[in-house]
Amino acid sequence: MVYKTLGKTGLKVSTIGFGTSPLGAEFGKIDPEEGQRAVDYAIDNGINYFDAAPYYGRTLAETRIGKFLEGKRDKVILTSKACRYDITDFEFTAKRVMRSIEQSLKRLRTDHLDLYQVHDVEYGNIEQVVGDVLPAMFKLKQQGKVRFVGITGYPLTPLRKIAETEDIDTVLTYCRYNLMDTTMDDILTPVIRSRGIGLINASPLHMRVLTDKGAPAWHPAPKQVFEIAREAAVLCRQQGTTISDLALQFALAHKDVSITLVGMTKVHHVDVNIKVVGTQPDPQLLARVREIIKPVANIYWKEGLPENDDPGAIEKRTLGTERTEKIKKEKKG
């Protein structure tokens, strides 16, 4: 495993972090016993960073990871989030943060979190995030309930805005730096670098688009993105590798990113992902895949309040209740 320093937190983090949203069945039903084995295998092989949130599986992921980490809490950097609780259930208030932390600590079976993050700031009013939510999180830091404070989200403009002025330790963004989209570097990375903030890049597989299995039904990207990814996956197979290995190699090569956060539920996936660490992509294959992807590269969708949109964001493929129904169906299947 390779370890990096997470910005000014000074934490030594494994370059691959364990994302727990699939443990909350966000990508479909999973086998919890295999989930436990995947977590054990990850820890035994050097992964020390775990990313949770009450939103994942509507508390299921936190409950599971709390159980899976029993007796191992001191071996890992454990993080969670507040303010997002369901697809349309958000509350950006200090009062809710104070209640939410106690609930998360209980589910995670711990007395403190290493990092506490505002989940998907784009769904809140940014003045409220800065004026009410972050001060509550800083208070928790003073009380020792959390060691560091960060923010997460999809559109980069509100993340940048907060990072420019607030004394936060980390920023997490997802699907904005991988083989499909590299716009993180145009909008966010320079500010993060200049302020010494820890950068966490989530969803290097573009929420399963960059795998042989392909995207889940609820994925918000346009269908052409999936079709092109399929073409790229076929080429990788022909060349004796996989699109997920190439995608992970690509994401891990980013110099400013401390943690590349991958969602995992199976020992096999943990194993192949760990094996990618320290390897380089075949430059010719990478160039060919990037050429295939070019027509759909840097397509990003609207997420959150309209006032927080990135310029150039497109409408999501599925929305609101339609998306909720699809998730419900996937979970049943």
Nearest CB to ligand NAD, comparing residues 104 and 265: 265
Indicate which residue of 41, 56, 116, 300 is catalytic. Answer: 56
Report CA dihedral (288, 293, 297, 299) to the nearest 10 degrees: -170
Residue 51 or 62 having the CB closest to ligand NAD: 51
Distance CA 125, CA 213 (A): 37
- Contact between 244 and ligand NAD (CB under 6 A)? yes
Rounded CA-CA distance 307/181 in Å is 22
Instruction: Rule CB under 6 A: say whether 205 interacts with ligand NAD.
Output: yes
Per-residue contact string for residues 106-135; x = within reach of ligand NAD by CB under 6 A: -------------xx---------------
Residue 206 within binding range of ligand NAD, rule CB under 6 A? yes
Q: Which of 11, 27, 48, 184 binds ligand NAD (CB under 6 A)?
A: 27
* One-character DSSP codes across 36-92: HHHHHHHHHTT--EEE--TTTTTTHHHHHHHHHTTTTGGGSEEEEEESB-SSS-B--
- Contact between 40 and 89 under an 8 Å Cβ cutoff? The reply is no
Among 262, 274, 285, 296, binds ligand NAD (CB under 6 A): 262
Scanning 90-98, 127-135, 230-238, 268-276 for contacts with ligand NAD by CB under 6 A, the matching segment is: 268-276
Q: Alpha-carbon distance 115 to 197, whole Å?
A: 13
Number of residues that bind ligand NAD (CB under 6 A): 29
Contact 77, 69 (CB under 8 A): no
Residue that has been written with the tokens 């083989």 in this structure: 179
Confirm whether 56 is a catalytic residue. yes
Q: Which of residues 142-171 bind ligand NAD (CB under 6 A)?
A: 152-153
Q: Is residue 323 close enough to count as binding ligand NAD by CB under 6 A?
A: no
By beta-carbon proximity to ligand NAD, the closer residue of 97 and 261 is 261
> Which is nearest to 200 in space by CA: 105, 305, 294, 77?
77
Distance between CA atoms of 156 and 20, rounded to whole angstroms? Answer: 22
Binding site for ligand NAD (CB under 6 A): 19-22, 27, 51, 119-120, 152-153, 172, 174, 202-208, 211, 244, 261-265, 269, 272-273
Just list the catalytic residues: 56
